[in-house]
Amino acid sequence: MYEEFPILIAEDDENDAIILERALRKVGFENPFRFCRDGIEVLEYLKAEGKYHDRSEFPFPRVMFTDLKMPKMGGIEILKWLYHHPECNLIPKIVFTASKQASDIQEAYKWGANSYLVKPGGYDELTNMLKLVFDYWNVCEKPMLPKHC
């Protein structure tokens, strides 16, 4: 069982979100996780604005996964926003994307990504990757985070 920590996942592709949710449950992740479809929604979540105002229902995430290519605001823009808001930039940030482009990898790390993972092609590869990720984050010490930014 993994330590109690909620995860925020920025993913605009509904099929990818469904597959990711199933894979998370398969590896035994029972803690809360929330999906946001674009970067604007991510910022609303982090700032506890709009429909995300209730932190008992939408707890501040202990880890964030973000895709890079999303409508309205992409993953790099989310990372840049976090970079300029140090009170929120403590959140561990994992880029989870299909892009293997060197420029995307460079930009993600430049703006504070803690990890950059390329989405695997198969479900078994995905579950193996997620198990490694969560085993790793489960043994890491994590900073105290604010309730909102």
| The total number of structural domains that make up the chain | 1
* Residues in CB range of 18: below 8 A, 6 or more apart: none
Does some domain include residue 1? Answer: no
Does some domain include residue 102? Answer: yes
Q: What is the pTM of this model?
A: 0.89
Among 141, 149, 137, smallest CA distance to 89 is for: 149
Look at residue 3 and tell me whether its pLDDT is greater than 60: no
Residue 64: beta bridge partners? 8, 93
Please write the tens of the pLDDT for every residue from 35-67: 999 999 999 999 999 999 998 889 888 889 999
Whichever domain contains 50, its CATH number is: 3.40.50.2300
Does some domain include residue 55? Answer: yes
Amino acid type, 18: I
Two tokens at 38? 């674009």
